[in-house]
Structure 1
Amino acid sequence: MTRPELESQGETEPLDSCDRRILAVIDELHDRDDPIPDDLNERVLFALELEAELDARVAGISRPAGFTLVRGDTELTVGQGDPASITFDCEAVTVMVTPRPVAVQELRLDGWIGPEGGYVVEIRSPEGTRRATTDESGRFVLEGLPHGEMFQLVIRPDEALQREGLPAVVVTPAVRL
């Protein structure tokens, strides 16, 4: 049964003080339970840059035990303790990386890409972009990386691998190491 005093209120009526209080409570709940990520701007810029790449493939994460997925698969956090490897896959390329602590708040990232061959590996983080080149077996190392930062890998196979059918660019989801 509806109350007669509320029958005149409709969805086309302007917001009143009760509506504003309800919306304020909802806003507070969102801020507390699901805040906007600090790196949202970087994520959006990366997505826009990715769209500009003509032949980019996005590699998915193979999810071994010991990882924590946060915010609907957008962030992967490597657990503490022994180094854990992360594997990324797409239809043509597999990338495995192992972060290793080398100093306080500093990491070394050992990586392997298959199929074997030459690749340029770019690691993007809020602190900037760094590059490494693989050896012919697909191995690479990136040192001096800050611990706890979001990273994203961009892999560019050499021309010989592209002639064999590999995409010009493969990117990984962002991970926090």
Structure 2
Amino acid sequence: MKMQPEFEGQGEHGPLDSCDERILSVINELHHRYDPMPEDLNERVQFVLELEAELDARVASVSRSGELVLMRGDAELAVGQGDPASITFDCEAVTVMVTPRPSALRELRLDGWIGPEGTYEVELRSPEGAKRASTDDTGRFVLEGLPGDQMFQLVIRPDEALQREGLPAVVVTPAVRL
């Protein structure tokens, strides 16, 4: 296949021309149509910046569950409809499992368990503000009256005894949407 005369000699490192601009325009249009910027992007960025400014923390990762719905390349996780889905977060020394359940009209209850067993302070941060709970000796906690369809992040602080055993002072989870 012979190149058109206007494109001969340009090679892959040549300057952009009208054909390149049309291709980039189509790609831009596809991104805006099929993968638009989230409406709450500014809230998310501010949320993360505030957390980083306050904490020198270990960040737990999400253990995948078949009941989670992944959106925007893992940047946002949403709990599937139907039966409650559990989300598990892991870091080197702490595992956190939470199960959201409907508790009232448009509100959720979050049942959680932290391992290893012990006493922890749990803070749930969202754009609506923060809610706090303490675990019992087995690591179980409950947070109620949570708004549905909100991003949230957990901040977990083990008690001093657990920290002496080698647990980090603070563990944070990635932000997920219930």
Q: Same fold (TM over 0.5)?
A: yes
* Counterpart AA for 1:4: P
Please say if residues 156 and 168 of structure 1, whose CA atoms lie closer than 8 Å, have aligned partners that are also in contact.
Answer: yes
Q: CA RMSD in A?
A: 2.3
What's the offset of the Cα at 1:36?
Answer: 1.1
1:85-142, Cα deviation, whole Å (9 max, x unpaired): 2111111111111111012211011111112222111111122222112222212111
Which residue of 1 is the match for residue 37 of structure 2? 36
Please say if residues 63 and 90 of structure 2, whose CA atoms lie closer than 8 Å, have aligned partners that are also in contact.
Answer: yes
Please say if residues 59 and 89 of structure 1, whose CA atoms lie closer than 8 Å, have aligned partners that are also in contact.
Answer: yes
Q: How many residues align?
A: 174
Which residue of 1 is the match for residue 5 of structure 2? 4
Please say if residues 155 and 170 of structure 1, whose CA atoms lie closer than 8 Å, have aligned partners that are also in contact.
Answer: yes
- SS for the counterpart of 1:24 is helix
What stretches of structure 1 of length at least 5 have no aligned partner? none
1:134-171, Cα deviation, whole Å (9 max, x unpaired): 22221211111111111111111122221211111111
State the distance in 1 between where 2:30 and 2:81 align.
30
Shift in CA distance, 132/41, structure 1 to aligned 2, threshold 3 Å:
same
Please say if residues 74 and 173 of structure 1, whose CA atoms lie closer than 8 Å, have aligned partners that are also in contact.
Answer: no
* Counterpart AA for 2:25: A
State the distance in 1 between where 2:46 and 2:153 align.
12
* Counterpart AA for 1:3: Q
Shift in CA distance, 145/76, structure 1 to aligned 2, threshold 3 Å:
same
Please say if residues 112 and 140 of structure 2, whose CA atoms lie closer than 8 Å, have aligned partners that are also in contact.
Answer: yes
* Counterpart AA for 1:137: T
State the distance in 2 between where 1:31 and 1:3 align.
31
More displaced stretch, 153-162 vs 43-52: 43-52
What stretches of structure 2 of length at least 5 have no aligned partner? none
What's the offset of the Cα at 1:6?
Answer: 4.0
Please say if residues 93 and 166 of structure 1, whose CA atoms lie closer than 8 Å, have aligned partners that are also in contact.
Answer: yes
- SS for the counterpart of 1:80 is coil
User: 2:17 matched to 1:25?
Assistant: no
State the distance in 1 between where 2:72 and 2:82 align.
23
What's the offset of the Cα at 1:51?
Answer: 3.9
* Counterpart AA for 2:90: D
Which residue of 1 is the match for residue 155 of structure 2? 154
Ranges of 4+ aligned residues in structure 1 off by more than 6 Å? none
